[in-house]
Amino acid sequence: MNKHVTENKYSLTINGEGVEAKSSFGVINPATEEVFAQAPEASDQQLNAAFDAAENAFDSWRKDESARRAALAAASEAITNASERLASVLTAEGGKPIANARTEVMVASIWLKYYSELDLPREIIQDDERAFSEILRRPVGPVAAITPWNYPLTLGSWKIGPALLAGNTMVLKPSPYTPLSTLVMGEVLRGIFPPGVLNILTGGDDLGAKMTSHPKTRKISFTGSVATGKHVAASAARDLKLVTLELGGNDPAILLDDVDIDAIAQNIFWGAFANNGQVCSAIKRVYAPKSIYKDVVEALTELAKNAKVGNGADESTDLGPLNNAQQYERVKELSADALRNGAKATTGGNPIDGPGYFFEPTILTGALDGSRIVDEEQFGPVLPIIPYDDIDDAIAKANNSKYGLSGSVWAKDTERGDAVAAQLEAGTTWVNCHMAFSPEIPFGGNKWSGTGLENGVWGVQSFTEPHVVYRTVQEPAIYR
């Protein structure tokens, strides 16, 4: 295994310093199912110390915008300089191909750089002969941020960048399945942010629960499962904390009857199978017109057959393992359930023998709305393709979900595509692309897929509270 992984001793970051923990937990390489490293288990005392540090740093940090921007820019550069080290650790703990891990590191750097340069608009409400008023945006204070195992660095940067630009401080916790890359990021960034501005803790789910209920945080930013998101919302409600929740998705792709299958097949496939399908906004179900259904199935089946599955450390790997045993068992269960109930796999459908949480890239036909594989979020390399006759019926089926994160529409006639996209119940609908992310474009979901927005100006505002300042020029008539 790469020396960046085996030779590193991992520590928490509290008040700008590396801190060891008295206990630790094992981190499993999903390609081998072996524990390859130990991550520190933060204690209650260390949790309190992190929030104390964040609280103590807040007052000075919020007052110096130029220092915040400079630190974010320096953090972006430091992450780029440590990219190979970060990517190696990310592949070992997450399973994703090393090329994809490098991309994730690059994205984290890009996001921090973007926020270092983002101009925040003034929100002037009134400016006339009677009065002047505007909405100021005040940082909320220490933020509790929790990231998932599928993109710990990318989604960490989605939280760090806007929160710190707005003047907040942060205590950040990654998933216990992928704690190491975030710990290394914390080490890389020590000395760039003032002590206490960015604290990084690792531990189990109980640590996350303690973070969300901690009395010294006024804001929780969580990305993860719907079930955990509901617990976070309930915990926040007890203290009326602000929350941003980016949760699961069951994202549909609707193909219109004029599409060129050969031209879009690659984009559809990777829209579904990127990171082995372990993306909240990945395509989870495809609706194709009956007139081209066979061609769609054949094209996607061929791509799935040719995708190379293997250890992410191998540069030639296209798809790595599923990240953890729980997710592996869920994908096996949903695939087997679909096959028992009439679906057919044109390719795949089975786990791959040997060590590691590997599953064959799978294309399913005959899976209908109402089946688990269509109605639930599989979060793995299994894609049902569903035929339709009427576009209104396809839209209705796409919307018949508790989720509302994202989706896509594919059409040569972009006016038709736009018209269908506008009818989907989702936070984001792409036309002729999927998962087209950019730091300036807001992202969020509705229904069970979450609440609030990340990215862009909207992402910064989500880490603030509005403060109206009103200055009268002329005495209001109501007081005369």
Q: Which residues are catalytic?
A: 246, 280
Burial class (CB in 10 A: 0-12, 13-18, 19+), 45: exposed
Spacing of C-alpha 325 from chain mean position:
20
Q: How distant, in Å, are the alpha carbons of 39, 86, 380 from that of 187?
A: 14, 11, 32
Distance CA 91, CA 275 (A): 11
Question: Cβ neighbours of residue 232 under 8 Å, at least 6 residues apart?
Answer: 146, 212, 220, 222, 243, 245
Q: How distant, in Å, are the alpha carbons of 11, 23, 259, 327, 381 from that of 282?
A: 33, 36, 20, 16, 10
Distance CA 49, CA 47 (A): 5
Q: How many CA atoms lie within 13 A of 434 on its CB side?
A: 32
Length of the chain: 480
Q: How distant, in Å, are the alpha carbons of 248, 300, 312, 480 from that of 322?
A: 17, 20, 11, 70
Helix, strand or coil, per DSSP, at residue 371: strand
Query: Can you state the angle between helices 205-212 and 226-238, rounded to 10 degrees?
Result: 30
Spacing of C-alpha 37 from chain mean position:
24
**What are the φ/ψ torsions at residue 476 (nearest 5 degrees)?**
-60, 140
Amino acid occupying residue 149: W
Bridge partners, 29 (sequence order): 34
